[in-house]
Amino acid sequence: MGERGWQTVGWAIAAVVAVLAVARLLDRAPEPPPVRVGAGAAQARGGGATGARRRLVVHVAGAVRRPGVYRLADGARVADAVRRAGGPGPRATVDLINLAARLRDGQQVVVPAAAGAGGPAAATGGAASVGAAGGPPLSLGSATAEQLADLDGIGPTLAERIVALRTERGGFAAISDLADVEGIGEQRLAALEQALVP
């Protein structure tokens, strides 16, 4: 083999060594930290040492473009959940819900539809329910004391208690939370579940 042949072999060996060196460097890229199954829930509840942000799971239903269950950062607002669900649909009446309210894990956000559009129950395929005077159901999260007082069996005193507890707690996660309001028993709660949405 001549001098030119040895040069070619030398360059080939140098190229192989360079490729191997680059491959070795790329192989040393830092690995992501391992995920500990089961530890995340305990850390989220107890504010674990890792400082990872807790995630909320909320159900967005009603007059939104993509109803469904979504994960959001702790501290997210109702507006964030509606945006995550594709935004309000063409018949949504977002003025009836409090877009600034903070979300809680497991909460359902129902965006009502405009009157005549079938209401939130029709938008989600559920059974029709009615609020005051046979209209669409009221949003428990944003209804005024006057609107609540118009519901059968509520009146102004009970409506004020509902609004006071809602303000104290920062909202209700479910209609069943109304059982904590003095004066609301099982029968009244069952009737309210037909007239209200969370």
DSSP 66-86: S-EEEEEETT-BHHHHHHHTT
Of 72, 107, 128, the domain-final residue: 128
Give me the pLDDT at residue 10, please. 85
Q: What CATH number has the domain bearing residue 196?
A: 1.10.150.320
* 13 vs 196, higher pLDDT: 13
Longest dimension (CA), the chain: 106
In a shared domain, residues 122 and 147: no
Handedness of CA 25, 27, 32, 34 (dihedral sign): negative
Any residues with CB less than 8 A from the CB of 93 and at least 6 apart, and which?
A: 63, 111, 112, 113, 114
Q: What is the mean pLDDT of residues 44-65?
A: 72
Domain end among 109, 128, 147: 128
State the residue range of the domain holding 79.
52-128
Nearest to 112 by CA among 79, 149, 64: 64
Domain boundary among 76, 103, 128: 128
pLDDT 10s digits, 7-54: 888 888 988 998 888 777 766 655 555 555 544 444 445 444 444 578
Name the pairing type of β-strands 196-197 and 55-62. unpaired
Q: Are 80 and 135 in a shared domain?
A: no
* 160 or 6, greater pLDDT: 160
Of the listed ranges 54-63, 119-128, 173-182, the one predicted with least confidence: 119-128
pTM tops 0.85, yes or no: no
149 three-class SS: helix
DSSP H stretches of helix in the chain? 3-27, 39-46, 78-84, 119-124, 145-149, 155-169, 186-195
Q: How many domains are there within the chain?
A: 2
| CA–CA gap between residue 186 and residue 153 (Å, rounded) | 13
Structure confidence at residue 117 (pLDDT): 43
Mean pLDDT in the chain?
77
